[in-house]
Structure 1
Amino acid sequence: MKDRALALAALLQAVEQVNLMANQGQAQTEPLATCINSLFVFDADQTEQIYGNRHQLKAGLKCLSNQLHGEAARDNTITRIALNVLHLERQFNRNPQAMQAVHAKLLDIKIQAENSGATHPDILAALGALYAEKVSPLGPKIMVQGNPVYLAQAQVVSEVRAALLAAVRAAVLWRQLGGSYWDFFLSRRQLNEATRGLLGQV
């Protein structure tokens, strides 16, 4: 359950950055970088290595804890986007051609990212375009609401899409670890305990 909690924390960390960009025009540098860098990790012995370490997911773990804790602490916007991401991941996972195309493109972008950094505007633009072309069309469009001033800016839109791609990557990982919608109903207590335990270590 610990690994599933880390994957969900990563998903929510990415979604939280989407929400920040949509409403404030910019994300938190380190939490966003952690999510984006995960797109270029294709093999790892442990789940947390995909994100550097569990400390890099502190923001996501806090968000997950709030989402699990109760109605008062829950952010309904983040819940809505996260559930839409999980739905989109299912469509993505059922399309081997799309998965192969995304993987191949990520290999190309990784080479550029190694030179300029994963959060360079050009890298985020390339990742945003990849999401828009290969992932978003597979399911109902994820509607991101926020300040129209920011959402009218091409750079912000690219960054939002790049973060959504990272969220889908986390959802894929969660599913690979045995995660399912039943976790939120039948294993909610165990998931909450795992999240609190991880938070105590960061």
Structure 2
Amino acid sequence: MQLNTPTNQTLAMAGIAQSAMLVQQLATNGSANLTAMEASIGSILKIDSDSVIDVYGSLDGLKLGLETLQSLITGYRISDPELARYCASLVFLEQLVSKQPTMLKTISTGVAKAQAQSELYGILHENVMANLSDIYQNTLSTLNPRIMVNGNEAYLSRTDIADKVRVCLLAGIRSAILWRQCGGARWKFLFYRKKFQAEVQNLLKQA
């Protein structure tokens, strides 16, 4: 399949934005959009896909990410600096891990195990969450600078919420990998911002 297209790059960016929004929702409210969470976590487990949208299951599964991305790239001021920081941190962290073949192999092995678990229990089962959380904690969280998540300590101190936050960050890395595979680059975002805005609007009409 042809990966290097503005539409695919926009979908991958929406995946990053969706992961960031899910992290923010979990950290501040203790809960998050379940449809979006299932799509984002499902993207981690989709090792082989026929298309970029198939990674997320459907456009409906990426609606939260498309809406979040639209708010971040529309206008001259950043609408939510914290969300923008999460997105930028995920892209930067993916660049670091892409240079760590041993770590990538460890992540791949762990994801394969989680994929088998999800077929038995379902994507959002606590066993799957715990496994994917461990993958993040033992690999990506060891890289510096670490992604610092702000929120309500009452939620962040809970094991189940902390696991979900880590898994959503892992999903963000998955989307950042996809963004790079689709030809995404910082200079493209800077020079083709209006094109990406138009792509987001078009995709939201279809979602």
Could you state the TM-score of these two structures normalised by the residue count of structure 1?
0.96
Q: Which amino acid aligns with 2:63?
A: K
**What is residue 45 of structure 2 aligned with on the other side?**
40
Deviation string 1:33-86 (CA, Å, 9 cap, x unpaired) is: 100011111111210001111121111001111111025672111101110111
Deviation string 1:2-50 (CA, Å, 9 cap, x unpaired) is: 0000001011111101000000011111110100011111111210001
CA–CA separation in structure 1 for the residues paired with 2:198 and 2:81 = 22
Q: Which amino acid aligns with 2:139?
A: K
In structure 2, the CA distance between the partners of 1:183 and 1:147, relative to structure 1 (3 Å rule), is same
Deviation string 1:90-136 (CA, Å, 9 cap, x unpaired) is: 00111111111111111111111111111111211111111010112
- Whether 1:128 aligns to 2:133 is yes
- Equivalent in 179, 187, 190 of residue 192 of structure 2: 187
**What is residue 70 of structure 1 aligned with on the other side?**
75
Kindly, what percent of the aligned residue pairs are identical? 30
Shift of 1:183: 2.4
**What is residue 23 of structure 1 aligned with on the other side?**
28
CA–CA separation in structure 2 for the residues paired with 1:33 and 1:143 = 23
- Whether 1:146 aligns to 2:151 is yes
**What is residue 58 of structure 2 aligned with on the other side?**
53
Shift of 1:184: 2.4
In structure 2, list runs of 5 or more residues that go unmatched: 1-5
In structure 2, the CA distance between the partners of 1:114 and 1:195, relative to structure 1 (3 Å rule), is same
Deviation string 1:116-175 (CA, Å, 9 cap, x unpaired) is: 111111211111111010112123110000011111111111110000000000000000
CA–CA separation in structure 1 for the residues paired with 2:117 and 2:78 = 40
Contact map agreement 1:11 1:170 (CA 8 A) in 2: yes
Number of residue pairs aligned between Structure 1 and Structure 2? 202
**What is residue 3 of structure 2 aligned with on the other side?**
none
- Whether 1:92 aligns to 2:97 is yes
CA–CA separation in structure 2 for the residues paired with 1:119 and 1:76 = 29
CA–CA separation in structure 2 for the residues paired with 1:183 and 1:64 = 15
Contact map agreement 2:30 2:155 (CA 8 A) in 1: yes
| Structure 1 segments of 4+ aligned residues over 6 angstroms from their partners | none
- Whether 1:200 aligns to 2:205 is yes
Q: Which amino acid aligns with 2:116?
A: I
Q: Secondary structure at the match of 2:139?
A: helix
In structure 1, list runs of 5 or more residues that go unmatched: none
**What is residue 82 of structure 1 aligned with on the other side?**
87
